[in-house]
Amino acid sequence: MKRVLVVDDDATLRMALTRYLEKRGYVVQNVRSGTEALEMFEQDPPDLVVSDVMMPEMDGFEFCRRLRSSRSGQLVPFIFLSSCGEIDAKVQGHSIGADDYLIKPFEPRELLAKIEAQLERSRRIHSEIVRLMQRAQPSDAEPTARPVAPESLPLTPAEERVFWEVVQGYTNKQIGDHLFVSPRTVQTHLSNILSKLELDNRSQLVRYAFERGYKPPAEMSNSDD
């Protein structure tokens, strides 16, 4: 399941968004300020951030600015929710790194559409990075320098299939559709994989794969979106 971090000092809106997104299959974390959001992000990076602008302690602009200055927060999709609809505020939001800007009050379906569009864009970028990294690997490397063979992974066959799907950037639902299992089963396999490899999240799993020279089997890397 994709994880969304909702940042807003309006508790009612925060909880309403949390319930709305959870009913649509997302795992939602919510906090009331940019300060809390940065702490939450460092502990468990989400797949996407939805943030208010005007908040106590640290406003959304400063939060976004600091997030974009960190390595782990450079590419995470970021959507502003704000009651300030002035063009200057929108320009500022985009200029510091936001991917989208939605004005309050808003239609939840529109926010959901923007979230799904940003996550799909993120997945496509991820897939392209994977493809470019695969192409960049030298074909005439010495045997001792070649990537570790997939069968060397300490995983069951089912876990290995999920491993490659995650490395290519697919969501649990997409992986379930590809492998004909439920998203819950995918999450169980993913949890087992992370435990066996002593990793904390998907981002670390992708890094693990490429730092050790793993690459998806040809039939997987050629099957696209």
DSSP 56: S
In the chain, the number of structural domains is 2
Alpha helices in 107-171 (DSSP H): 108-136, 157-167
CB distance 79 to 61 below 8 Å: no
* 104 plus 158 within the same structural domain: no
**What pLDDT does 141 receive?**
47
Residues 12 and 114 in one domain: yes
Token couple for 82: 């704000």
**19 part of a folded domain:** yes
Residue-level pLDDT at 148 = 41
Q: Residue 136's pLDDT is what?
A: 59
Q: Flag whether 205 is in a domain.
A: yes
Write down the pLDDT at residue 1.
73
Q: Tell whether 130 is covered by a domain.
A: no
pLDDT at 101: 93
Predicted confidence at residue 147, as pLDDT, reads: 43
Examine the domain organization and report whether 156 and 108 are in the same domain: no
State whether 73 and 22 are in the same domain: yes
Question: Which three-class secondary structure state does DSSP give residue 29?
Answer: strand
Please tell me the predicted confidence (pLDDT) of residue 218: 55
Residues 114 and 51 in one domain: yes
Q: Is residue 156 part of a domain?
A: yes
Residue 52: closest CA among 3, 96, 93: 93
Cα-based torsion angle of the residue sequence 11, 13, 14, 16 in order, rounded to the nearest 10 degrees: 120
Q: Choose one of 91, 121, 151: the last residue of a domain.
A: 121
| Full residue range of the structural domain in which residue 195 is found | 141-221
> Do 10 and 86 belong together in one domain?
yes
- CATH number of the domain that residue 85 is part of: 3.40.50.2300
- Asked whether residue 127 is assigned to any structural domain, the reply reads no
35 and 108 share one domain = yes
- In a domain? residue 135: no
Q: How far apart are CA 39 and CA 54, in angstroms?
A: 18
The confidence score (pLDDT) of residue 111 equals 95
- Say whether both 164 and 197 belong to one domain: yes
Query: 105-161: per-residue pLDDT in tens?
Result: 899 999 999 999 999 888 887 777 767 666 655 554 444 444 444 447 888 989 988
Say if 179 falls within a structural domain.
Answer: yes
Q: Report pLDDT for 98.
A: 92
Residues of the chain with pLDDT under 70: 130, 132-151, 215-225
Give pLDDT, residue 217. 62
Residue 74 resides in a domain: yes
Q: Is 189 helix (H, G, I), strand (E, B) or coil?
A: helix
